[in-house]
Structure 1
Amino acid sequence: MIEYLNKCPKAIERLKPAFRACLKDFDTLKREVMAGRVGLYELIGDNYHVTIAGEVVGRSYFLWGVSGKGVVPAMRELKRHVKEAGMTSISADTHFPLVARLCRRLNTKECKSGSVTRMEMGV
């Protein structure tokens, strides 16, 4: 199940751990959510419960932040919704090599630039 959370302050705070390497970006996320340019969602299933923030960029759904339990199965669920919306990929940047490694189970393509890894997954 996916639920739109429309500017929910508690949901925004749940994403804070995803920004521990880039706290200024967390402030930007809050502004973008409140301006309506970035959406907040909660994905809940038998083996996952995550909060995500994202926006459409071209034909891709860009994830600003993901936090919770069961990220890999949650991304599989999100993939279905992104495809139904007519997009072709899901993308995200991470400062954490372990996050990039975890997401390889989703067949992501990676591109490193300094300490940031850009991940992209086709839908």
Structure 2
Amino acid sequence: MIQWVSDSPTALRDLKVAFRACPDSFETLKHEVKAGRVSLYELSGDDYRVTIAGEICGHSYFLWGVSGRGVIPAIRALKAYVKEAGLMSISAETHFPLVKKLCRRLNTTERVSGDVTYMEIKV
């Protein structure tokens, strides 16, 4: 199940942990959500419950941040929504090597620039 939660202070607070390597980006996220350019969603299923922040960028759904339990099955579920919207991929950037390693289960394409890895998943 997917639910829009952009007006929930709790959802935004839940995402803060995803920005511990880039706290200034969290401030930008709050501004973008308030302006309506980035949306927050809660995805839940039997083996996952995550909060995501994202926006459409070209033909991709760009994830600003993800937090919660069961990220891999949640992203697999998100792929169906992204595909149904007519987009071609899900993309994200991470500062965390363990996140990059975890997301490889999703057959990501990666590009590294300094300590940031850009990842893309075809839908």
TM-score normalised by L of structure 2: 0.99
Partner of 2:84: 84
**Offset at 1:7?**
2.6
Q: Which residue is equivalent to 1:19?
A: 19
Deviation of the 1:9 alpha carbon: 1.1
Counterpart of 1:109 in structure 2 is 109
Residue 122 of structure 1 is matched in structure 2 by 122
How far does residue 53 in structure 1 lie from its aligned partner after superposition?
0.2
- What is the CA-CA distance between 1:101 and the residue it aligns to? 0.4
Following superposition, the deviation at residue 68 of structure 1 comes to 0.1
Instruction: Extract unaligned runs of 5+ from structure 2.
Output: none
Stretches (4+) displaced over 3 A: none
* Letter matched to residue 66 of structure 2: V
Q: Secondary structure of the equivalent of 1:15?
A: helix
Structure-2 separation of matches of 1:9 and 1:57: 24
Q: Does 1:34 align with 2:34?
A: yes
Percent identity of equivalent pairs? 66
The answer on 1:49 being equivalent to 2:49 is: yes
Letter in structure 2 aligned against 1:51: T
TM-score (norm 1): 0.99
For residues 28 and 7 of structure 1, the distance between their equivalents in structure 2, rounded to whole angstroms, comes to 16
User: Which runs of 5 or more residues in structure 1 are unaligned?
Assistant: none
User: What is the CA-CA distance between 1:8 and the residue it aligns to?
Assistant: 1.4
Counterparts of 2:35 and 2:73, CA distance in 1: 29
Shift of 1:116: 0.1
Q: Distance in 2 between matches of 1:35 and 1:14?
A: 19
Please give the alpha-carbon distance, in whole angstroms, between the structure 2 residues aligned to 1:43 and 1:17.
17
Could you say which residue in structure 2 is the equivalent of 1:72? Answer: 72
Separation (CA, whole Å) in 2 of partners of 1:6 and 1:22: 21
Q: CA deviation at 1:45?
A: 0.2
